[in-house]
């Protein structure tokens, strides 16, 4: 999870080798891999995510009581990226890996590209970007399939809009670039 930049990243996978067939949240029992997500028991929800999280809790309430999750806690992830079946090179061999340790660098790279585009136009780096992300959900592929089962439950389900499995969804770089270049 990309905590250093102030946001957290979830995981998705491509449903087929054809990217236009879309993505689903990673909760894949046959690979014994699940993406995290939910609500913090320590940190309270920040104001910038209140509308998105409220929409989820109102329209798609999880079937759990307060003893299972803290619906007033900081919700995560904020966004997601592909995190299953990605190639790495380890000890001279190419192998497939999975996890948010795969999706987080993808998102970090996107933020780097956004900062480079801004600096090429003489603008300052982005800084804290969460409020901008939540104000622009159209800049993400909304993931509405899959879930994150675990801890003896079915977990949370991916649903339209923000959800505690894939957040706002996966970035659409050209839309994000336009948004961030239009900022002062």
Q: What is the pLDDT of residue 112?
A: 95
Taking Cα atoms as reference points, which of 114, 117, 118 lies closest to residue 171?
A: 114
As a whole number of angstroms, the distance between CA 101 and CA 88 comes to 11
Please tell me whether the peptide bond between 132 and the residue prior to it is cis, using omega within 30 degrees of 0: no
Taking Cα atoms as reference points, which of 110, 99, 109 lies closest to residue 77?
A: 99
Half-sphere CA count of 5, side-chain side, radius 13 A: 24
CB atoms within 10 A of CB 27: 24
Residue 39 within a domain: yes
In 3-state terms the chain splits into helix, strand, coil percentages (rounded to 5) of: 30, 30, 40
Residue 20 within a domain: yes
For the chain, 184 residues long, the average pLDDT of each consecutive 10-residue run is 64 89 79 78 94 97 89 95 89 89 91 97 93 97 90 88 96 98 96
Print the domain residue range for 18. 9-182
Residue 2 within a domain: no
Residue reference for tokens 């014994």: 32
Q: What is the pLDDT of residue 148?
A: 87
Residues 6+ apart with CB under 8 A from 70: 39, 40, 41
Residue 4 within a domain: no
Residue 129 within a domain: yes
Q: What is the pLDDT of residue 4?
A: 42
Residues 166, 144: contact at Cβ < 8 Å? no
Q: What is the pLDDT of residue 5?
A: 47
DSSP-based three-state secondary structure for 34: strand
Number of domains in the chain: 1
CATH code of the domain containing 61: 3.40.50.200
Residue 25 within a domain: yes
Residue 126 within a domain: yes
Residue 3 within a domain: no
């Amino acid at each position: 999870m990309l905590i250093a930049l102030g946001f957290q990243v979830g995981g998705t996978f491509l449903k087929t080798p054809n990217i236009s067939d879309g993505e689903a949240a990673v909760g894949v029992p046959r690979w014994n891999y699940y993406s995290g997500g939910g609500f913090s028991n320590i940190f309270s929800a920040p104001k910038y995510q209140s509308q998105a999280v409220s929409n989820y809790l109102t329209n798609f309430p999880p079937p759990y009581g307060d003893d299972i999750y803290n619906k007033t806690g900081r919700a995560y992830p904020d966004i997601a990226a592909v995190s299953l079946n990605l190639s790495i090179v380890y000890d001279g061999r190419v192998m497939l890996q999975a996890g948010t340790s795969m999706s987080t660098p993808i998102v970090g790279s996107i933020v780097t590209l956004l900062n480079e585009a801004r600096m090429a136009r003489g603008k300052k780096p982005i800084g804290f970007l969460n409020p901008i992300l939540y104000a622009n959900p159209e800049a993400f592929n909304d993931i509405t399939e899959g879930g994150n089962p675990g801890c003896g439950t079915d977990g949370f389900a991916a649903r339209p809009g923000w959800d505690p499995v894939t957040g706002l969804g996966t970035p659409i770089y050209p839309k994000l670039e336009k948004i961030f270049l239009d900022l002062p």
